[in-house]
Structure 1
Amino acid sequence: MQDLAINLVASALAAVAAWLIQRGIRYRRLARMRAFFGLREGAPSLLIAGRHWSSPRVSSVHRNDMGAIVELGAIVKECGGRADLVPAAEAPKELGKVTEFCIGGPESNPRTAAHLAALLPGVRVTTFEEAGEGVPIIVGEARYERLPHEEAHVVLARALPTAHPVFLLIGQTALSNLAAARYLASHHRDLRRRYGDDSPFCLVLKVRQPGAYGPDLVQVVADATPTAFDGTPPPALPSQRRPWWSVGRRP
């Protein structure tokens, strides 16, 4: 009987020890995740989405951008923070007071245009109006073109103007914005190991065969960090005369 009691006590102590170890591991993982995203328990954050190009309403958002918002909102929720969705036209006139996730290119999101000019001077993201369906992303001397239904590119960056980071997801299509959000959600531990909590980064991702696989087939094609943050602004594209049948169309 005494041996049984000892075994029961030992089993209970082992179970408590295992629970405490698992709790400690979860706490460390959560603390690291919070540090990477600049979030804490109950802290607010901003999700600033670009306007749907075909809608006259400033608060209208493309369904794939909504998918990106859901992915990013899940990150914030896991960190115990609060995500506030703000249309680009209503973005606050301040910077760095809270963690910010900015979604979409400069054509749909003026907040993105401001961040590119102020935080990523070495990156130029063209618009459909000036470059057509190729909408190249230019980083230094590198140029990344969109091939409709075959491949699209997206810039995934973290800028650190203050202690609160700004995450930028700037794709050639709304689908590529979603791909970047999913990549960030699934690879943030790898990104933290590489860049830590206090260093900016800028990656160019390629979404392969989006017509067949949607946002699921993604690869890193360039780490453009030095050029994006320290490089000189790429030159503007020469003006192009677009065919009459392409006027008003978007990728």
Structure 2
Amino acid sequence: MQDLAINLVASALAAVAAWLVQRGVSYRRLARMRGFFGLAEGAPSLLIAGRHWSSPRVSSVHRNDMGAIVELGAIVKDCGGRADLVPAAEAPKELGKVTEFCIGGPESNPRTGAHLRALMPGVRVTTYEEGGERVPILVGDERYERQPHEEAHVLLARALPTAHPVFLLIGQTALANLAAARYLAGHHRELQRQYGDSSPFCLVLKVRQPGAYGPDLVELVGDVTEAAFDGTTPPALPKQRRSWRMVGRRP
């Protein structure tokens, strides 16, 4: 009987110890995640989405951008923070007071354009008017072009104007924005190990065969942090003459 009691006590102590260890591991993971995203329990954050290109309503958002918002909102929730969705046209006139997630390029999201000019002068994102359906993204001396129906690129960046970071997801398509949001959600631990909590970064991701696989087949093309943040602005593209007019929906 005494042996049974000792075994029960030992089992209880082992269970408590295992629970404490697991709780400690979970707490450390949460602390690292909060540090990476600049969030805290109950802290507000902004999700600033670009306007749907074909809608006259300033608050209209593409369905794939909404998917990106859901992914980013889940990140904020996991950190115990609060996510406020704000149309780009209604973005607050302030910077660095809260963590910010900015979705879409300058053509649909003026807030992105402001961030690029102020924080990432080495990046130039062209419009459909300038670059056609390939809408090249220029980072330093590198040029990344979309291959319609085959591949699209997206920049995933973290700028640090203050202790509260600005995350930018700048894709050549709305589907690429969604792919970047999923990449951030799935790889933030690796990114935290590589860049810590206080270093900016800018990555180029490629979405392959989006027509067949949607946002699921994504590869890392490269780290262009130095070129993006070094202050060298890529030259403007020459205006193209076109005898045709784009019809139908943009991706």
Q: Which residue of 1 aligns with 2:115?
A: 115
- Give, in whole Å, the separation in 1 of the partners of 2:245 and 2:13: 75
Q: Which residue of 1 aligns with 2:183?
A: 183
In the TM superposition, residue 246 of structure 1 has moved relative to its aligned partner by 2.0
Structure 1 letter corresponding to 2:63: R
SS at match of 2:4: helix
In the TM superposition, residue 83 of structure 1 has moved relative to its aligned partner by 0.2
In the TM superposition, residue 243 of structure 1 has moved relative to its aligned partner by 2.9
Q: Which residue of 2 aligns with 1:198?
A: 198
Q: Which residue of 1 aligns with 2:211?
A: 211
- Give, in whole Å, the separation in 1 of the partners of 2:131 and 2:148: 14
Indicate whether 1:63 and 2:63 are aligned: yes
Q: Which residue of 1 aligns with 2:160?
A: 160
**Identical residues among aligned pairs (%):** 86
Structure 2 letter corresponding to 1:100: E
Q: Which residue of 1 aligns with 2:14?
A: 14
Q: Alpha carbon RMSD of aligned pairs, Å?
A: 1.0
In the TM superposition, residue 3 of structure 1 has moved relative to its aligned partner by 0.8
- Give, in whole Å, the separation in 2 of the partners of 1:78 and 1:174: 24
Per-residue CA deviation, residues 182-224 of structure 1 (Å, 9 max, x unaligned), is 0000000000111010000000100011111000011111100
**1:1-251 to 2 correspondences below 5 Å:** 1-246=1-246, 250-251=250-251
TM superposition outliers: structure 1 runs of 4+ over 6 Å: none
Structure 1 letter corresponding to 2:103: I
Structure 2 letter corresponding to 1:162: T
Structure 2 letter corresponding to 1:73: G
- Give, in whole Å, the separation in 1 of the partners of 2:214 and 2:243: 28
- Give, in whole Å, the separation in 2 of the partners of 1:250 and 1:236: 23
Structure 2 letter corresponding to 1:125: V
In the TM superposition, residue 130 of structure 1 has moved relative to its aligned partner by 1.2
Aligned residues: 251
CA contact (8 A) 1:128 1:250 kept: no
In the TM superposition, residue 129 of structure 1 has moved relative to its aligned partner by 1.4
SS at match of 2:51: coil
Q: TM-score, normalised by structure 2?
A: 0.98
Q: TM-score, normalised by structure 1?
A: 0.98
SS at match of 1:245: coil
- Give, in whole Å, the separation in 2 of the partners of 1:249 and 1:71: 24
- Give, in whole Å, the separation in 2 of the partners of 1:150 and 1:232: 30
- Give, in whole Å, the separation in 2 of the partners of 1:249 and 1:47: 25
CA contact (8 A) 1:156 1:167 kept: yes
Structure 1 letter corresponding to 2:160: L
- Give, in whole Å, the separation in 2 of the partners of 1:66 and 1:206: 20
Structure 1 letter corresponding to 2:177: N
